[in-house]
Chains A and B, each alone.
Chain A
Amino acid sequence: MSTPWPTGVGLGWRPEIASVFDELPGLRFTEVIAESLSGPLPPGLTRLRDQNVTVVPHGVGLSLGGAEPLDPARVEFLANCAQRLRSPLVSEHLAFVRAGGMEVRHLLPVPRTWEMTALLCERIRQAQQQLPVPLAVEPIATLFDWPDDELCEVDFVTEVLERTDALLLLDLANLYANARNRGLDPVRQLQRLPLERIGYVHVAGGAAHEGHYHDTHTDPTPSEVLDLVAELGRLRPVPGLLLERDGNYPPKAEFHAELDAIAEAARHPRITGSSP
């Protein structure tokens, strides 16, 4: 039997901050990078699963937008993660990560063309056929657009989702970064997305550097992203909302404060156990 659908505020599971999870009494969901689960499940993750905390495997290796065919073994691995974790869904990215047999080890943007839309949809359907649970796909943050783009980001994402019936992993930090770096209004971008397809949401921190905003995941969540959380809450109930942090980990008190701020913006109960 699977764990519940992601709800409330969550925190991305990383072994470096595993101790934080012992002190989040209200935590009901988390997410783990699927490709890091090649061995036995870490005891901390197993404990969370056994406590009926939803653990979503978040893949980074399918390369849905890559030129090479989808590797069934990688999809099978993601499916296996879902089964081991009893997850109600899995997630991946609208990106590519390898080309010409070379692993780039980074999520790279795909050209937003009609041809790429068709390719992505084909790949997503192939993956969906092999996966035992629904798939949520995440549009990534990118510092550049391909010169032959035919669709804007919102239309591209909407097209892919509607053709495949996949869920949307809405990363508000990515949406903010992309809008800011292109002089667009992030609220307007948010309003135009098919919000009814949201599976769950990411938030994360970033930093400005040499005129660009970088979705670093190693900085605190900025107020602008929290404002987007609040805006999403005005448009519809906010589903599960996960804080991603991949390094430069702060003291526990700062982590708790950030999680509380996210809960407040989303009007979700606090998971830290502190009083509002």
Chain B
Amino acid sequence: MKQQTEFSENIAVQEGAGDMHASCVCAGFPSPADDYVEEALDLNRLLVHNAPATFFLRVKGDSMKGAGIHTDDILVVDRSVTPKHNSIIVAVLNGTLTVKRLWKKGNRIVLLAENPAHRPVDVTCMEEFEVWGVATSVIHSLRVNK
């Protein structure tokens, strides 16, 4: 059975209910926590640093299982991050999007999988190779059944 990670929208942020939960004034007594109230933890802030450049992709296949990236996971991809040696990137290879680890030394560029069944791909001279974005996080659901 296909498993997908579903999230409902972050209503709190959108409706401005990042309003702090102040104590109810009608009770009469101020709460000792009033001076220390902080915003609730927000996954958007944690995972998305540059919203216009951040996209979510659905992983298919297990070519990167060694890196903890599995089928049906959601990959958080930031197109504004500069790819470096050892980054996990989303690349365009022969017209399709693929997620691989970037190996880059000197002039050579190789795409490495994290699964012994997949061979490295040397893209140094490939015209059809392009970096689409850098994967910054992966979201993996632990639910057993949908």
Q: Is B a genuine binding partner of A?
A: no
A-binding residues in B (CB < 8 A):
none
B-binding residues in A (CB < 8 A):
none
